Chain A
Amino acid sequence: MTTSPLLDATGVAKNYGAVAALRNASLSVLPGEVHALMGANGAGKSTLVKILTGAIPANAGRILIRGEARDIRSPAAARRAGLLPVYQEPSLIPDLDVLSNLRLTSTPVEPFRAWVRELGIADLDLRDTARDIPLAVLRVLDLARALAVEPDVLLLDEMTAALPANLAEKVLEVVRRQGDSGRAVIFISHRFVEISALCDRATVLRDGETVGVVDIVPGVEEKIVELMLGTRIVKTHVAARSAAQKAAPAAARPRIAVQNLRVGTKLSDVSFDLADGEVAGVVALEGQGQDELFAALAGSIRPSGGTIEVDGAPVKFSHPIDAIRAGIAYVPGDRSEALAMQRSVRENIALPFSAALRNWGPINMRKERATVLSAIERLQIDTRAQGEVQRLSGGNQQKVTIARWIAADARTILCFDPTRGIDVGTKQEIYKLLRELAGNGKSVLFYTSELEEVQRVCDRVIVIFGGRLVDIFPVEEADEPALMRAAYGLPRGAKADIGILADPTAHASDAPEATP
């Protein structure tokens, strides 16, 4: 191709302290193309997008726009350079009406109106306060606002998420036409169906590096999955678990039975069982409804439909205490959510003991000390800085959040990405602990953003995509490529199903609703 790229970024790197979020990312977008940006969780997609749109500065790299080196220092500079993002979160100011929001960004009103109609919203009153407008419409308005200033490069982050089918269709149509008219669109999506219908090329990121640029042709999904996984594609052999590690023989009834669980628009129709003595993994891309699933099981939010049964009896949790009384404990992914940072290790571990009204009285210090010490020992928490939890390392803090429920002897532990951002040694200890818990007849639901952990820890894997259950694998079949495909909503044995890409229109409507 001889056309020079509209946007050409090379060697972009970004470090957060010692952590490299981007090492060597590049992205080149030609005029007239819709370009997909893909990568697994944590590959660096959002970091790259933030750099391109001036939200954060890069540590290294060169960004050329229409062949000129530009220093994009702020969102305003990116805008002047013709780069405009539409983020996942709606960006209209909630307390202003639409018209004032337009003025704020000096967006021309007439083109905006035209785009809004084009995008399938016939009856928008510009005097409506943004707060009163439903989320799906807000996202479309964000898009229309971006289109109205005619940017050279439009950056869409998960644009179709949270949109009903009819609006999504219009959006895709408009995006495609945007490409055909000679501008460029960078399209970030987890949905292969959309990408195959819409995009010309895809850039794939892995571990902060651009690992490939591929043309979208039928059958390319295999290649993309391969690129996202990298060398790890070699089928890892699942080590047979020793008898002690094997899941205990399944009891007559499951510990927790989830039936058709629905939470708002984020989770719909999810059903699975969790047995005593097993570790069930949950795998999903970011924001596919796993947060809501865990929150509902932990009693933090109320499901809007479906049933949860514990030991065969239906339950309705209205506060975490209800779940805790049923023996279900939740370890959140964000440690700062679970810990009282200024308090001691001991007080943090013993926190659930004081929760109930009848335990508000004097504490039996000796008994508490013994319980806490045994939990500390079991998890081998480094207690040199135990006076304040905030002085502990991340790994030790994570151990404290788990130790709390070991001390409380919870029968079921919901672990949400417990190994995020902690060192390798501690990760190994946590894997071992989770297996031990299962060996002792406890049950664990384990969400992980690192696919390789599945085979180390889980007995079964539940894969969720777009708020729906894609598949439940036994661990023997859960190699990384299979999981990655499932996480992108592709059914098991996708190789036979290559038709998805060959004829996207036929599947466009039902593919996101893939059922097990």
Chain B
Amino acid sequence: MSSTGITPVPFGRRLKRFMADRPLIPLVILLVILVVILQILRPGIVNERWIANTIKFAIPLAILAGCQTMTMLTGGIDLSVGTVATMSAFIMATQVVKQDPAVAFLLAMMPAVLIGLVNGIGVGVFRVHPLIMTLGTSLIGTGCLQVYQRTVIASGAKIPDFLAWLGTGVTYGFPNALLLFLPLAALIVFTLARTGFGRLLYAIGDNERATRLSGVQYWQVITALYVTSSVLAGITGLLYIGLIKAPSLSLAEPLVLPSVAAAVIGGTSIFGGRGGYTGTIIGALILTVLTTLLTILQMPEGARRILFGLIVLFVTAAYLRIVEER
């Protein structure tokens, strides 16, 4: 405190301190740099339409990454989000053919709640490692979906107009999906920062023993958490089918690992106790822009994946170095 005012602190150190205090800033800078690179490589690509498009694709990823953020805060992970999203999307698209949309919606959300409940009880009561638990339910869910597919093979599928409007529509230049995402994101941020439940997620990830001694019942928190995560994944599935418009059995599966990556890039510690949702949202945007960038480079698929992996690793490592001050 005493000497810093007099002796000039090296600029690098000061910059580091500044970034450590505001971990979002380096993320935003990285996002801007990526956009600038894109603009240089393909002048004129960055326009209103491109931005709306990027946001449209970033939103499902950002919601799933929200599931990962919340579970990772407790030291867990939810690998079943892809399956859950796929299931709700597929059931919605097939049931809406004959049923009332509201009924179809309820049917679509049922497996989400069920899988979340099983995950929560497995992790919270029987103490199965979240990685194994959610991987297991994910496989079971995929299997069930295959069985289900045979029973509805004749009925066909359609995308409800409302979901198509929500997923792909743009109003005054703003994607309609923001109508869903903005309140949802605000709710998650608020929950994490200002509610008892949010506090408990951080505390459990930091020191589970301490929460137990404070009277927290682990299984309650964990069950509620995994159900919430699953329901969010289910909603994402409905949004995503409106965007992709082609129901398949592996619809949202490719989003699972990027959702983990987005949370990690956004500064959430996989060991629990650290992180937040705002960083995750920017992480999801960074990944989406990065994908576009690699697509226009016109590389072979293999090289693109290698580059993608390298960049994710590099960014995460660099980010942790900047933010962690120890």
- Chain B residue nearest to A356 (CB atoms) is B215
Report whether B213 and A343 are in contact in the complex, using a CB–CB cutoff of 8 Å: no
List the one stretch of B51-59, B83-91, B175-183, B198-206 in contact with chain A.
B198-206
A320 and B195 contact, Cβ closer than 8 Å, known pairs A340-B203, A340-B210: no
Q: CA of A324 to CA of B199 in the docked complex: distance in angstroms?
A: 19
* Interface membership of chain B positions 189-200, coded 1 if the CB is closer than 8 angstroms to chain A and 0 otherwise: 010001111011
Give the residues in chain A near B200, CB-CB below 8 Å: 354-355, 360
Which of A319, A355, A363, A404 is the one whose CB lies under 8 Å from B195?
A363
Most buried by A among B213, B216, B217, B224: B213
Shortest C-beta distance, B87 to chain A (Å), equals 28
Shortest C-beta distance, A372 to chain B (Å), equals 13
Shortest C-beta distance, A106 to chain B (Å), equals 37
Report whether A347 and B203 are in contact in the complex, using a CB–CB cutoff of 8 Å: yes
Give the residues in chain A near B199, CB-CB below 8 Å: 347, 350-351, 354, 363
Which of B195, B203, B207, B216 is the one whose CB lies under 8 Å from A362?
B195
Does A352 sit at the interface, judged by CB under 8 A? yes
Shortest C-beta distance, B27 to chain A (Å), equals 20
Shortest C-beta distance, A133 to chain B (Å), equals 26
Shortest C-beta distance, B176 to chain A (Å), equals 29
Which of A337, A342, A347, A354 is the one whose CB lies under 8 Å from B209?
A337
Report whether A338 and B213 are in contact in the complex, using a CB–CB cutoff of 8 Å: yes
Give the residues in chain B near A338, CB-CB below 8 Å: 209-210, 213
Q: CA of A361 to CA of B207 in the docked complex: distance in angstroms?
A: 21
Give the residues in chain A near B202, CB-CB below 8 Å: 340, 343, 347
Q: CA of A320 to CA of B216 in the docked complex: distance in angstroms?
A: 8
Interface residue ranges of A315-361 to B (CB < 8 Å): 319-321, 324-325, 330, 332, 336-343, 347, 350-357, 359-361
Q: CA of A418 to CA of B81 in the docked complex: distance in angstroms?
A: 45
Does A298 sit at the interface, judged by CB under 8 A? yes
| Range class of the B interface residue count | 20 to 34
Which of A300, A351, A362 is the one whose CB lies under 8 Å from B211?
A351
Q: CA of A53 to CA of B217 in the docked complex: distance in angstroms?
A: 43
| Range class of the A interface residue count | 20 to 34
Report whether A342 and B213 are in contact in the complex, using a CB–CB cutoff of 8 Å: no
Give the residues in chain B near A350, CB-CB below 8 Å: 199
Report whether A362 and B213 are in contact in the complex, using a CB–CB cutoff of 8 Å: no
Which of A336, A343, A352 is the one whose CB lies under 8 Å from B215?
A352
Report whether B217 and A319 are in contact in the complex, using a CB–CB cutoff of 8 Å: yes
Does B214 sit at the interface, judged by CB under 8 A? yes
Report whether B213 and A360 are in contact in the complex, using a CB–CB cutoff of 8 Å: no
Shortest C-beta distance, A264 to chain B (Å), equals 20
Give the residues in chain A near B206, CB-CB below 8 Å: 340-343
Report whether A352 and B274 are in contact in the complex, using a CB–CB cutoff of 8 Å: no
Q: CA of A337 to CA of B206 in the docked complex: distance in angstroms?
A: 11
Report whether B195 and A342 are in contact in the complex, using a CB–CB cutoff of 8 Å: no
A360 and B211 contact, Cβ closer than 8 Å, known pairs A343-B273, A351-B203: no
Q: CA of A332 to CA of B209 in the docked complex: distance in angstroms?
A: 11
Report whether A320 and B212 are in contact in the complex, using a CB–CB cutoff of 8 Å: yes
A339 and B214 contact, Cβ closer than 8 Å, known pairs A347-B202, A354-B200: no
Shortest C-beta distance, B208 to chain A (Å), equals 9
Interface residue ranges of B26-44 to A (CB < 8 Å): none
Tell me what chain A mostly uses at the interface: helix, strand, loop, or mixed.
helix
Give the residues in chain B near A353, CB-CB below 8 Å: 196
* Interface membership of chain B positions 249-279, coded 1 if the CB is closer than 8 angstroms to chain A and 0 otherwise: 0000000000000000000000001100000
A330 and B211 contact, Cβ closer than 8 Å, known pairs A343-B203, A343-B273: no
Does A365 sit at the interface, judged by CB under 8 A? yes
Does B220 sit at the interface, judged by CB under 8 A? yes
Which of B196, B213, B217 is the one whose CB lies under 8 Å from A300?
B213
Give the residues in chain A near B209, CB-CB below 8 Å: 337-338
- Chain B residue nearest to A340 (CB atoms) is B206
Give the residues in chain A near B224, CB-CB below 8 Å: 360
Most buried by A among B199, B200, B215, B217: B215
- Chain B residue nearest to A322 (CB atoms) is B215
Which of A336, A351, A357 is the one whose CB lies under 8 Å from B214?
A351
Shortest C-beta distance, B225 to chain A (Å), equals 11
Interface residue ranges of B195-248 to A (CB < 8 Å): 195-197, 199-200, 202-203, 206-207, 209-217, 220, 224
Report whether A363 and B213 are in contact in the complex, using a CB–CB cutoff of 8 Å: no
Q: CA of A300 to CA of B217 in the docked complex: distance in angstroms?
A: 12
A360 and B195 contact, Cβ closer than 8 Å, known pairs A320-B214, A339-B207: yes
Report whether A351 and B210 are in contact in the complex, using a CB–CB cutoff of 8 Å: yes
Shortest C-beta distance, B278 to chain A (Å), equals 18
Give the residues in chain A near B213, CB-CB below 8 Å: 298, 300, 320, 330, 332, 337-338
- Chain B residue nearest to A358 (CB atoms) is B196
Report whether A341 and B215 are in contact in the complex, using a CB–CB cutoff of 8 Å: no
- Chain B residue nearest to A323 (CB atoms) is B215
Give the residues in chain A near B194, CB-CB below 8 Å: 362-363, 365
- Chain A residue nearest to B206 (CB atoms) is A340
Give the residues in chain B near A320, CB-CB below 8 Å: 212-215
Give the residues in chain B near A363, CB-CB below 8 Å: 194-196, 199
Shortest C-beta distance, B189 to chain A (Å), equals 13
Which of B190, B197, B207, B214 is the one whose CB lies under 8 Å from A404?
B214
Shortest C-beta distance, A452 to chain B (Å), equals 28
Which of B212, B216, B274 is the one whose CB lies under 8 Å from A342?
B274
Which of A325, A340, A354 is the one whose CB lies under 8 Å from B196?
A354
- Chain A residue nearest to B199 (CB atoms) is A354
Shortest C-beta distance, B220 to chain A (Å), equals 6
Q: CA of A362 to CA of B220 in the docked complex: distance in angstroms?
A: 17
Q: CA of A341 to CA of B272 in the docked complex: distance in angstroms?
A: 12
- Chain B residue nearest to A330 (CB atoms) is B213
Closest 6 CB pairs of A and B: A354-B196, A340-B206, A321-B215, A355-B215, A360-B197, A324-B215
6 contacts between A and B (CB under 8 A): A321-B215, A337-B207, A340-B207, A354-B196, A355-B214, A355-B216
Instruction: Give 6 new A-B contacts, CB below 8 A, not counting A319-B215, A336-B207, A350-B199.
Output: A300-B213, A324-B214, A339-B210, A355-B211, A360-B200, A360-B224
